[in-house]
Structure 1
């Protein structure tokens, strides 16, 4: 039978998914530790052997082999803009939507100290923005000169004021830098246009970053590494929400991905006010939005989670004041491959997961503010209103292995004690039990109809 092999070279595990493309069935999945330190194909081959064992007795012909990757730290970027709340924030959102880890965001004129920070940040790509079209052009030109004079040898995506583009291009070209010009991430005040920048970032990832991370051997075996893993998850979520040419989507939804180092939230919704009489303020929100919380992880970032949440919040979910919260978090950070085996360890992990979910959703969604004016009370919204989101989808090890994943996801929903946070009110809970979201993002690149149908079939209702 003709099948697709969909591969995720993850930061910890390399995950394989075999899909019977005609019958739209997942035949088998397998994973093994990612071996980026020596040869990434070692971990792949280990996982492939496990997959072949599960496929015994089936005549499988892999007609396509597609991959995404977050190995070797994934795609790492900095975003540079003009005003922190505007073009710099727009640049950050473009980078996050492309599946990057945004290590820093710089605004206004770059300083020598900031250039040195960028030089020492072990980056993959720089996103250079700044100014609305026809607005301030001095800042982006200054920052282009600083990058050109720095000797930094990194690809630059230019997505700023179109009036300054010719000058910026000449500066970067004369310096011998690799660059790509694309549309402004914020052509008008408070108006986002992040898709062109996302696409250029993805192309550079495919052309240059994969090879730089020693993954050329993998490319010789597969048809191509199409995108960073987080971008594949966002792609899957988007096609599941919006639907495809022949398949209807599920409508507005959000995805919570709890990992060892971060908790990512993806929302697919316009985020407009769901209640009458509410006015919007601040930067326009993208329909497909991703946020990454680097201090909310189950292992690498366990101590940071405790510091961000406080002991009392984790205790609230644990329901046991005798447990040393700090010590347990520190132990997990020092033993990143720890797998909980006892009832106490499982309960503690789930309390951490609920805490991470609550805080990550709170940071992702919009906030409602009450303003008192001479004409009376008015309500103002900044960020996305996700109150009416239909589905909340969970993925990540702690959720997959939990006997009560809905309880973990419920921690990220609307709370009457915090009514200004516009989190989902009554969503249905779905689980990615077989880690298929990144695989379906890859499949959606070549056959979105089948990707939607497979996700509808394999995402498990856990209400």
Structure 2
């Protein structure tokens, strides 16, 4: 039997999944509390104890031992570019696609106040872009000089104007920074090239962040592959959408992942206009796009969600008194392990999740703008048109464990009262019922067809 042990070091729980690769079957799953403060091995060993009964009390030899991690806040990055809508946005997309949590995006020449903001966030990595190849050099050079004096962010990935890259590297190396130069994320206007930067971020994660998060201690359990958990989920999404040479995928899809700290949306779609008479404007969107909403979380970010939505609106959706909603939100923020204990708390939890799905999709999907010309009205699309995407997949603890996950996912759908927001209209609603997506993304690194079959088997229609 060919076995795989797939480990996800989460910010709250460490989850392990044992898989029979040949039959694409999950043999066992278990979890333990992640313990970054003491030893990350504690949570892992607790989870491993949980799967032992499925193997007659002793762990077998796993041919594949792969892991991902979002422990201790995951991979924290800052993205810097020349123009907010162009190189800064390209840098942001590269960072998000690599599984990072973007603490801030900065455009034009950095100021002293912005440098203080970067130092306060203390990112693991800074992604420095700016200028198309052969274009503006002044801004990226200015920003390199500012970053040379930064107290935090000792690892800097340079992905800007190739004409300035060597000079930028020299400035930063002389300041004692660890510098990685990769291809420009925007080599020409309206031409994205984010994959080299994504791969550089991932390699840097392997070399640097593993040590910083204490994951080095888990090396004896891990073989070869380690990536940020969101990158593993995006990996799974790509596989499920595009398939392999041996097995077809499902085609275009959207994943809504509601977590304790963030709500992530992954869209695997071209996003071209589906209506006649619509023209596209702005930076091209990548086929595999991820957005992260740090103010929309079920536990760690519960107070931010309450502030973003407003207590009155959340109470109206939940059908509960405002004071009760506020009290519950504070309780789950203060105790992230707290689960709904009665029907009224379920209503509030459901309302929180539905609102998180609603707002995260609103921010992720493209929009339509009406422009008036001498010939009459014309429509301009910004971002992706997701209206005809055939699959909407829900994942994350609140969805996976909810008695009616469809009720939550419906919050992400197209609405008549918001006709300019291009959300999915009539997709098939699917559920990652066994929380398998991160494990699928890991297994895809070594056994893509088996990973695809695993996803198809455990992601079910609701």
**TM-score calculated relative to the size of structure 1:** 0.96
Structure-2 separation of matches of 1:365 and 1:313: 22
Structure-1 separation of matches of 2:456 and 2:215: 32
Deviates more, 1:14-23 or 1:299-308: 299-308
Structure-1 separation of matches of 2:220 and 2:120: 31
Shift of 1:304: 1.3
1:233-254 CA distances to partner (integer Å, 9 max, x unpaired)? 0000011001112110101101
Structure-2 separation of matches of 1:405 and 1:152: 41
Secondary structure, in 3 states, of the residue corresponding to 1:291? strand
Shift of 1:155: 1.1
In structure 2, runs of 5+ residues without a counterpart are none
Q: Which residue of 2 aligns with 1:175?
A: 175
Shift of 1:117: 2.5
Structure-1 separation of matches of 2:61 and 2:150: 50
Shift of 1:297: 0.8
Secondary structure, in 3 states, of the residue corresponding to 1:381? strand
Aligned-residue CA RMSD (Å): 1.6
The alignment status of 1:11 with 2:11, answered yes or no, reads: yes
Shift of 1:411: 1.0
Structure-2 separation of matches of 1:59 and 1:355: 42
Shift of 1:325: 2.9
Structure-2 separation of matches of 1:297 and 1:71: 16
1:274-329 CA distances to partner (integer Å, 9 max, x unpaired)? 11110011111111111111111111211211221123432343234566433332
1:87-143 CA distances to partner (integer Å, 9 max, x unpaired)? 111111111111111111111111223223322322111100001111111100111
Q: Which residue of 2 aligns with 1:389?
A: 389
Relative to structure 1, the CA distance from residue 153 to residue 408 in structure 2 (aligned partners, 3 Å threshold; closer, same or farther) is closer
Q: Which residue of 1 aligns with 2:73?
A: 73
Q: Which residue of 2 aligns with 1:356?
A: 356
Structure-1 separation of matches of 2:150 and 2:284: 33
Structure-2 separation of matches of 1:324 and 1:215: 40
**TM-score calculated relative to the size of structure 2:** 0.97
1:347-366 CA distances to partner (integer Å, 9 max, x unpaired)? 11011111111111001001
Decide whether the 8 Å contact of 1:262 with 1:293 is kept in 2.
yes
Q: Which residue of 1 aligns with 2:105?
A: 105
Structure-1 separation of matches of 2:123 and 2:7: 24
Deviates more, 1:230-239 or 1:293-302: 293-302
Structure-1 separation of matches of 2:330 and 2:277: 47
In structure 1, runs of 5+ residues without a counterpart are none
Deviates more, 1:315-324 or 1:416-425: 315-324
Shift of 1:225: 4.5
Relative to structure 1, the CA distance from residue 128 to residue 56 in structure 2 (aligned partners, 3 Å threshold; closer, same or farther) is same
